[in-house]
Amino acid sequence: MSKSQKTRLGRRALLLGGVQLGLAGVLGWRMHQLGVKQGDQFRLLAEENRINIRLQPPARGLIYDRNGNALALNRQAYTIEMVREQANDPAAVLQRLAQLIPLSPAQIDDVLNEMNRRRAFVPVTVATGLEWEHIAAVSANAPALPGVTPRLGLNRQYPVGADFAHIVGYVGPVSDYDLKKTDDKDPLLLIPRFQIGKNGVEAKIEKPLRGKAGLKRIEVNSVGRVMRELDGQASAPGVNLQLTIGPELQRTAMERMQGESSAAVVMDVNNGDILALASAPTFDPNKFVNGISVADWRALNENEYRPLANKTVQGLYPPGSTFKMVVALAALSLGVANEHEDVYCPGHKDINGRKFHCWRRGGHGNVNLREALRYSCDVYFYEMALRVGIENITKTARALGLGQKPDLPLPAVRTGLMPTKQWKLEKKKEDWFIGDTANAGIGQGFVLASPLQLATMTARLASGNQIEPRLLNMFDNKLSPVKGVGPLEFKKSHLDMVRAGMYDVSNHQRGTAYRSRLRDGAQMAGKTGTSQVRFITKAERERGVTKNEDLPWNRRDHALFVGYAPFDNPRYAISVIVEHGGGGSKAAAPIAKDIMQKALDLGKNEYGPLPSQKRSQVKPIKGTRT
């Protein structure tokens, strides 16, 4: 071999050796990357192949009334779970199980569908909220129920039941519909039959009440079967809430309205605390916790008295004559009325060729502002409404809380309607007519308000302050702030003129609510109202309008009353509506009288609704009780 050939061979060997050395270097570098720098990542991937992480549901926060009594709590309850791969024939096992626990054919179908949607080794909840007797029967028959496992958990309970149903609301199993309508990505919602708030405070403050899930690490084999529990992180319970509602006053309101389709609100005029928020008829929230039956749901949903609706905040009604204080205050503020001027009432007022009638066919004769409120003279307020105009009426109404959405932790709270010319043009595609203003002057036409808004209006008239309704006393053991204590932009002298007329309504012998005056020397200022739900034709008037009691129930007038007491030192404001109850003096005022009397009686007792100066003495709630 020549020298040149040896030289070329040496270069090739050197090049090949360099390539081999480079490859070895790259391989060593990559092994270093995988083994050292990325070692934790790959160890984690390997760990996840044998370790499953399961959620630990938290204990839901508790809800209390103003006196510290539990309204919503958690009690230990038994749950039945089932694993499809262990059951062999799940349908047959479920049929046997149905002989031992409450399990309908529809529920069996739901469980089977849920099993088919999940992997064979994943447990599926069959039933929850069971008693010990059910669990004992299942345990005794365990050999005939393969794949069935009883477990101990927490179930929601409402010890007071129906009295607070519309306020507290209820929880229920999360459904596909719930998942579709929310952007909440909390994995707790994917747990079968996990309970979430469906109505009331339970729904409005769902996330804080729900708490945060814990984690539990489970070792599983190659097919996913649980081998043992390792470690985990404890769940965080939900926050506790305390409401401003007084239990005895709430119970009194519900009992007093029994048999009616009605609503009542009682508010502290000094701080806005809602002491009663009662809607009748009501329902048992405990029936919803584990899923209400079809029969119970149909009975509630088809009841013409609408027991599922919270009429205090969801119901909107023409306020009728309870709105006349708004018109009076607007007229005084604009200087188009005073306490001495008389308006003649012959029983009607002619406006653009149309007669607008007073409720008293023969009229009231000459009446001033105080007398017009005392007798509830419609003609006086037709006149004042025309002088003031709809824009100023609406401005005054909003200053008193009407047409404003209350900021409360309740679902479906409605704003009501205080109309303007622009509103009618946009919504009705029509111009505003002078007759529309006349109708608004007596709380009819387009004007709509909820019982809560009427109570707020009355509290503001009584106190002279911009009181805001308040339902939460404490959130997570911290006092909630009181809002709206600044003065209204009305002269005290004008407010006093309106208050004097309201005083006469309940205390003058010719006042419309004189029969519902308070006892024991207490005096309540108030205003009755009757709002029409049907149009009375000219022909009906000529032949004599049919009496309310002769009409079908759903065509009768609504009965209303608003008031506050004591007159000389206001403390409580109240509003009551009786749907299709007829006259406010006959149907609503007597109910308001009894509820207000109870509020005053309780106010003398330290265990009743707390005076505003004692709010700070309410002790924070510690811990979580089950």
Q: Domain extents for the chain?
A: 96-150
Can you give the pTM of this predicted structure? Answer: 0.83
> So what's the pLDDT on residue 269?
96
**Type and span of the H or E element at 29:** helix 3-32
Residue-wise pLDDT for 152-197, tens only, equals: 888 899 999 899 999 999 999 888 888 888 888 888 887 777 889 9
Whether the Cβ atoms of residue 263 and residue 580 lie closer than 8 Å to each other: no
> So what's the pLDDT on residue 529?
97
> So what's the pLDDT on residue 12?
67
Q: Out of 321, 333, 376, 463, which one is annotated catalytic?
A: 321
Q: Is the pLDDT score of 208 beyond 70? A: yes
> So what's the pLDDT on residue 565?
97
Using CA atoms, how far apart are residues 507 and 518, in angstroms rounded to an integer? 9
Using CA atoms, how far apart are residues 81 and 201, in angstroms rounded to an integer? 30
Using CA atoms, how far apart are residues 157 and 170, in angstroms rounded to an integer? 9
Rg of the chain in Å (alpha carbons): 34
321 included as an active-site residue: yes
- State percent of the chain over pLDDT 70: 84
Q: 15-19, 67-71, 80-84, 610-614: which has the highest mean pLDDT?
A: 67-71
Structure confidence at residue 608 as a pLDDT band (50, 70, 90): very low
> So what's the pLDDT on residue 458?
98
Strand partners of residue 465: 487
Using CA atoms, how far apart are residues 443 and 417, in angstroms rounded to an integer? 11
Q: Is the pLDDT score of 373 beyond 90? A: yes
Q: Is the pLDDT score of 532 beyond 60? A: yes
Q: 35-44, 571-580, 608-617: which has the highest mean pLDDT?
A: 571-580
Mean pLDDT, range 116-123, rounded to an integer:
77
Residue-wise pLDDT for 38-78, tens only, equals: 555 545 445 445 665 667 789 999 999 999 999 999 998 88
Mean pLDDT, range 537-545, rounded to an integer:
59
Q: Give me the residue label for tokens 């811990």.
A: 623
> So what's the pLDDT on residue 366?
97
pLDDT, averaged across the chain: 87
Coil/strand/helix, residue 558: strand
Nearest to 208 by CA among 237, 234, 173, 179: 237
